[in-house]
Amino acid sequence: MVKIVSWNINGVRARIDNLLDWLRESQPDIVCLQEIKSVDEQFPRTDIEALGYHVETHGQKGFNGVAILSKLKFDEVNRGLTGDETDEQARFIEGVFSSESGAFRVVSLYLPNGNPVGTEKFPYKLGWMARLELWAAQRLSFEEPIVLAGDYNVIPQPVDAKHPENWVNDALFQPESRQSFRQLEALGFTDAVRATDDAPETYTFWDYTGGSWQKNNGIRIDHLMLSPEAASKLGSASIEKHVRGWEKPSDHVPVAIHLNV
């Protein structure tokens, strides 16, 4: 079994102690980080490598940025989502790995927030999702296990928010955003968490304001989407919610799966 985790770290240098403590506690094999908010040269790789991880980053100064940490060696690394050569935002990195049963692919992605809806940010979000769908459709032709792990900034269903009525004007809950997410599912991708747990109040993000964590006023926006070949190897999925209660936490928590690859 390989443990693959997605975590929006919300600033890797600000939360390096939490990250290192969590790596020791959780013992993931592959970690997809989002919002590292660091250029590649300033990513704190030394301490992470000391724990046995290979580190690949696609960074950007001050915001965005994604990374993959892996105990397995990378066969291949691809940075940036194809389809728009003018897009300079660092939101996508793909790693290819080998196992006894063959190659598998893991993507760390950070989908655009899209707010405010009435600005150019919302069309950018939808355009990015359309490019992701096209990329995913092309990768499916390889017939390999694929894990699309990250902060999608999409609340798929009303059950994925404590108070869905508070999100009706937000880009995360717009019909177009949710439809784009469903189009990934229509391609054949499986939402790992919902494939194993349909319980309400299953969240991955709690805002820093208004006592959201204490009131469990959360939303589920961090997802691991699995190709058919990956879904058939899914052993379990879980949300490591307790990390949100640590000192100086990210507003997101790690979401984990075990794959029999």
Burial tier of 200 (Cβ tally within 10 Å: 0-12, 13-18, 19+): exposed
CA distance 34 to 8: 4
pLDDT band at 100 (very low <50, low <70, confident <90, very high): confident
pLDDT tens, residue by residue, 206-215: 999 999 999 9
pLDDT tens, residue by residue, 152-187: 999 999 999 999 999 999 999 999 999 999 999 999
How many other CB atoms are there within 10 angstroms of residue 65's CB atom?
A: 28
Residue 101's pLDDT is what?
Answer: 85
What is the total count of domains within the chain?
A: 1
pLDDT tens, residue by residue, 64-84: 999 999 999 999 999 999 999
Percent of the chain exceeding pLDDT 70 equals 100
What element of type H or E holds 66?
Answer: strand 66-70
Mean pLDDT in residue range 110-121: 97
Strands 2-8, 30-34: pairing kind:
parallel
118: Cβ contacts below 8 Å, ≥ 6 apart? none
Residue 67's pLDDT is what?
Answer: 98
DSSP secondary structure of 162-208: SSGGGGTTSGGG-HHHHHHHHHHHHHT-EEHHHHH---SS--SEE-S
**Active-site choice (29, 53, 151, 203):** 151
CATH number for 88: 3.60.10.10
Q: Is 110 a catalytic residue?
A: yes
pLDDT tens, residue by residue, 184-203: 999 999 999 999 999 999 99
Mean pLDDT of the chain: 97
Q: Is 207 a catalytic residue?
A: no
Give the domain range for residue 175.
Answer: 2-259
pLDDT tens, residue by residue, 129-155: 999 999 999 999 999 999 999 999 999
Residue 167's pLDDT is what?
Answer: 98
pLDDT tens, residue by residue, 12-39: 999 999 999 999 999 999 999 999 999 9
Residue 128's pLDDT is what?
Answer: 98
**Active-site choice (29, 53, 110, 191):** 110
Total-model pTM: 0.97
CA angle 64-70-74, nearest 5°?
A: 95
